[in-house]
């Protein structure tokens, strides 16, 4: 996956801090909608600076699509799956108890999500690579 980013600062070890505009499914046509309140949002990230880009320069960055899809599955699909499992496996109980079990099961998925987030930050598992200047 490639995106356009701005180099914010140079870090040691051949890395840089970049600012990547946040993407979303709505496309952020804010002149038409303005419903989400996300105008101008950007994500700060760490990127391998193999080309020697300097602060203020616009660059093309690349991230691993495979790793990103794994994170999406972990963050979005796992809670839904556990919610449904909690609901359907508690058949025979009252409806309010079934929903409580389902919500508890979905909340339980926060444990592996937080653990993976800590692992990814420690090991730089989800870093960008600066490919070229614009």
pLDDT tens digit string along 25-73?
Answer: 565 555 566 566 555 578 888 899 999 999 999 999 998 777 878 888 9
Place 24 in a pLDDT band, splitting at 50, 70 and 90: low
Q: pTM for the whole thing?
A: 0.62
- Would you list the DSSP string of the chain? -EEEEEEEEEETTTEEEEEEEPP-TT---TTT---S--TT-EEEEEEE-TT---TT-EEEEE--HHHHHHHHIIIIIHHHHHHHHHHHHTTTS-HHHHHHHHHHHHHHTHHHHHHHHHHHHHHTTT-EEEEEE-
């Amino acid at each position: 996956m490639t995106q356009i980013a701005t180099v914010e600062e140079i870090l040691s070890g051949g890395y840089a801090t970049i600012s990547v505009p946040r993407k979303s499914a709505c496309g952020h046509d804010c002149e038409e909608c303005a419903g989400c309140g996300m105008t101008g949002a950007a994500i700060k990230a760490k990127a391998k600076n193999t080309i020697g880009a300097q602060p203020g320069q616009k660059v093309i960055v690349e991230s691993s699509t495979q790793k990103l899809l794994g994170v999406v599955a972990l963050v979005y699909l796992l809670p839904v799956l556990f919610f449904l499992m909690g609901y359907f496996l508690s058949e025979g109980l009252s409806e309010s108890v079934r929903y409580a079990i389902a919500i508890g099961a979905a909340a339980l998925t926060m444990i592996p999500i937080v653990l993976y987030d800590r692992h990814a930050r420690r090991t730089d598992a989800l870093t960008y690579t600066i490919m070229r200047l614009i």
